[in-house]
Structure 1
Amino acid sequence: MPRILGVDIPDNKPIRISLTYIYGVGPHHAKLILEEAGIDGQVRAHTLNEDQLAQLANLIENNYVVEGALRRQIGQNIQRLRDIRSYRGYRHRAGLPCRGQRTKTNARTRKGRKKTVAGKKSIKGAK
């Protein structure tokens, strides 16, 4: 498996797909990177030589924020929202959706598994 910026990319997939295994590089950026490097996107990753891999790594490192630096930047942005006690910061702290979605139903990704709450006890015979 070839390594770019410390990330193992699959060698049996087209390079345009393999580049998306790098955190912060999606399909669109992968296409732009390959155009700038002059590499066909359909070429398999294992067919690239060391110079081409180094060229790709250099382009990504100089032009994009990826991997650890991007994760750190996102974490700092969320921490800033928490520190200034904004609504979005509160939602992050509480583990709830931040972008206006409904939470009466759905929102299970953020809230976790359903917690069953016991129903109200009824007294038999009372009206």
Structure 2
Amino acid sequence: MVFILGVNFPERNLKSLESFFGIGPNVSARLLARFHIHPQAKVSELANPQVLDITAALSEMKIENDLRRQVLDNIKRLRDTGTYRGRRHALGLPVRGQNTRNQIKTAVRKNQVERRL
């Protein structure tokens, strides 16, 4: 069992880095390439210095609660300034120019899931 940033990772591959909020496939691949780790390597096969390097790199990045807080602050700023995007967020409507015809229920549901943490 390996601990990275206080999260316990069992015998899975390093795709488990993507379980952190804010780390996708591209960032994960860049981290693995930076520390010369094969993408198919298991977490249990990593040496202790490699785990410490990954942990140090992740601690420098803005992930999990810090990133969630930043996203919510950005949305709050848009609402407070009264921009078009802020009003769309407040109403729970699509923000990025999608049509609302026949899709309003899906759009509202998706907006609620993403914004209410």
TM normalised by structure 2 equals 0.82
Out of 84, 89, 114, the position equivalent to 1:92 is 89
**Aligned counterpart, 2:31:** 33
**Aligned counterpart, 2:52:** 54
Out of 59, 62, 68, the position equivalent to 1:65 is 62
Normalized per residue, the structure richer in helix is 2
Cα distance, 1:55 vs. partner?
A: 1.1
**Aligned counterpart, 1:120:** none
Q: Which runs of 5+ in 1 are unaligned?
A: 113-127
Identity %: 36
**Aligned counterpart, 1:12:** 11
Q: For residue 73 of structure 1, what is the amino acid of its counterpart?
A: Q
Q: CA RMSD in A?
A: 1.6
Count of residues in correspondence between the two structures: 109
- Relative contact order, higher structure (CA 8 A, sep 6+): 2
Q: Which runs of 5+ in 2 are unaligned?
A: 110-117
Cα distance, 1:19 vs. partner?
A: 0.8
Cα distance, 1:69 vs. partner?
A: 0.8
- Give the structure with higher Rg (CA): 1
Q: For residue 65 of structure 1, what is the amino acid of its counterpart?
A: K
Task: State the secondary structure of the residue aligned to 1:98.
Answer: coil
